Amino acid sequence: MAVLVTGGTGFIGSHTCVELLERGYDVVIIDNLSNSSADVVDRIEKIAGRRPVFYEGDMLDKELLNSIFDRHEIDSVIHFAGLKAVGESVRIPVSYYRTNIGSTLNLIDAMKAHGCTRIVFSSSATVYDASDVSPLKEDALLGTSSPYGRTKLFIEQILRDECVADPSFTAILLRYFNPIGAHPSGLIGENPNGIPNNLLPYIVNVALGILPQLNVYGSDYPTPDGTGVRDYIHVCDLARGHIHALEYAATIKGADAINLGTGNGTSVLEIVHAFEKENSITIPYVLTDRRPGDNATTYADPGKANELLGWHAQYDIHDMVRDSWHFAQVFLKNSR
Ligand code: WQD
């Protein structure tokens, strides 16, 4: 029996494939390589010592998707594939709805046509209304300000509706907070195309000398040092959470949303200073205006994941900033 990992060459997908292979699961990846590269498959194999089956292709290609289910006994699916840039989604919303929702509808059809009834979905803390007070539990107010976030919210609801219509179907909706870091080997990590939107890859590019300085978006928030506070979680902790979720999905029916976060809030300047101290590097930065759409503080209440999944985040901020920089040195420098 195999696990189909959609978007398995991406940042979180690749780390999850390593965890799956190391635990003896057979892994099949489908990825259109729109935000990753095929050599990630080689690096997954190098770390795990076992190779996933890889199909380059798009989830909107129904024939390809069904042929994968015809060729492999897919027992369950972990669904990462999708567009994920908040700002871009505001500019091209229809592409985000077509890609993210259309892919998921094709996937559900292919799963049902082949008797596969278990899915773990890559959702996001972005589904929470920014006005709600952290720490956020799974029953916090839902509401999102971007088409990207709305695709996550809509897909969560589609999966919930499918579980009502088909009692054999099970969906675990994992709401990630802020994934950063990289596998300790330095072979896989976060390698976004172009100028990064997110904080850590931007800091890494400053450290590499590719970008001149970090713009700190807002220093007048009601937080200890005035800069934005988020729940950063090591990508390896996040990957491990998917294995726990997959195993939990085998014990229940229906749909359930679960936060994957550390429960700790860390500010932008705390991240900068931790990166500098851990890696003996100076990160030049300027305090600039707030970024539209940002809120002051967002972090998780991870109690449900702790209790239901038996999962706890193990890495801390120092591990995250060290591993991010290690990946940059091992991989990014050689590939630019
Ligand atoms: C973190 C903090 C910024 C860049 C986003 C998505 C969310 C999820 C995770 C997918 C904030 C500050 C950032 C910079 C800065 N992605 N910052 N200078 O916005 O919390 O969440 O990524 O699911 O959907 O919204 O992450 O890394 O962009 O920002 O000061 O150059 O860093 O203001 O306080 P965010 P982020």
Q: Contacts by 201-205 with C-beta closer than 8 Å and gap 24+? A: 201/324, 203/271, 203/272, 203/275, 203/283, 203/324, 204/324, 204/325, 204/328, 204/332
Residue 294 alpha carbon, nearest atom of ligand 1: 33
Cα 16 to ligand 1 centre (Å): 22
Q: How far is the CA of 217 from the centre of ligand 1 (A)?
A: 9
Segment 317-327, tens digit of pLDDT: 999 999 999 99
Atom index in ligand 1 nearest the CA of residue 227 equals 34
Provide the pLDDT for residue 194: 83
Nearest CA to ligand 1 atom 32: 199
Ligand 1 pocket, mutate which of 86, 89, 122 (most atoms under 8 A from CB) = 86
Find the 187 Cα to ligand 1 centroid distance in Å. 24
Please check the confidence at residue 335 and state whether its pLDDT lies above 80. no
126 CB less than 6 Å from ligand 1? Answer: yes
Picking from 304, 149, 146, 125, the residue whose alpha carbon sits closest to that of residue 231 is 125
pLDDT value for 1: 81
Please indicate whether residue 191, judged by its CB atom, sits closer than 6 Å to ligand 1.
no
Residue 135 Cβ contacting ligand 1 at under 6 Å:
no
Q: Which residue(s) pair with 128 in the sheet?
A: 142
Write down the mean pLDDT value for the chain.
96
- 39 Cα–ligand 1 center, Å: 27
Q: What is the distance in A from the centroid of ligand 1 to the CA of 292?
A: 11
Phi, psi dihedral angles at 249 (to 5 degrees): -60, -25
- Catalytic site includes residue 217: no
Q: Considering 25, 148, 176, 315, which one is annotated as catalytic?
A: 148
List the beta bridge partners of residue 287: 216
The pLDDT value recorded for residue 274 is 98
Q: Which residues contact 335 (CB under 8 A, 6 or more apart)?
A: none
Q: 193 near 186, Cβ under 8 Å?
A: no
Residues 52-91 have pLDDT tens digits of: 999 999 999 999 999 999 999 999 999 999 999 998 999 9
Closest ligand 1 atom to Cα of 202:
31
Share of the chain above pLDDT 90, in %: 93
Listed residue (22, 9, 4) closest to 119, CA to CA? 4
pLDDT value of residue 130: 87
Q: Does domain 2-180+233-262+299-314 have CATH number 3.40.50.300?
A: no
pLDDT interval class at 131 (50, 70, 90): confident
For residue 336, name the pLDDT band (cuts at 50, 70, 90). low
d(CA 186, CA 332): 9
Task: Please report the atom of ligand 1 found closest to the CA of residue 126.
Answer: 24
Q: How far is the CA of 170 from the centre of ligand 1 (A)?
A: 31
- The more confident residue out of 27 and 87 is 27
pLDDT above 70: residue 333: no
For 150-170, write each residue's pLDDT tens digit.
999 999 999 999 999 999 999
Which atom of ligand 1 is the closest one to the Cα of 228? 34
* 155 CB within 6 A, ligand 1: no
Q: Crossing angle of helices 147-165/102-113, nearest 10°?
A: 20
Report which ligand 1 atom has the smallest distance to the Cα of 180.
27
Query: Ligand 1 centroid vs 198 CA: distance in angstroms?
Result: 5
User: Does residue 228 have its Cβ closer than 6 Å to ligand 1?
Assistant: yes
Sequence spans of domains, the chain: 2-180+233-262+299-314
> What does the angle CA 144 – CA 149 – CA 155 come to, to the nearest 5 degrees?
115
Q: Is the CB of 328 under 6 A from ligand 1?
A: no
Measured from the CB, is residue 230 less than 6 Å from ligand 1? yes
User: Which alpha helices (DSSP H) does 61-217 contain, by range?
Assistant: 62-71, 86-91, 93-96, 102-113, 147-165, 199-207
Do 30 and 55 form a contact (C-beta atoms < 8 A)? yes
Q: Is the CB of 217 under 6 A from ligand 1?
A: yes
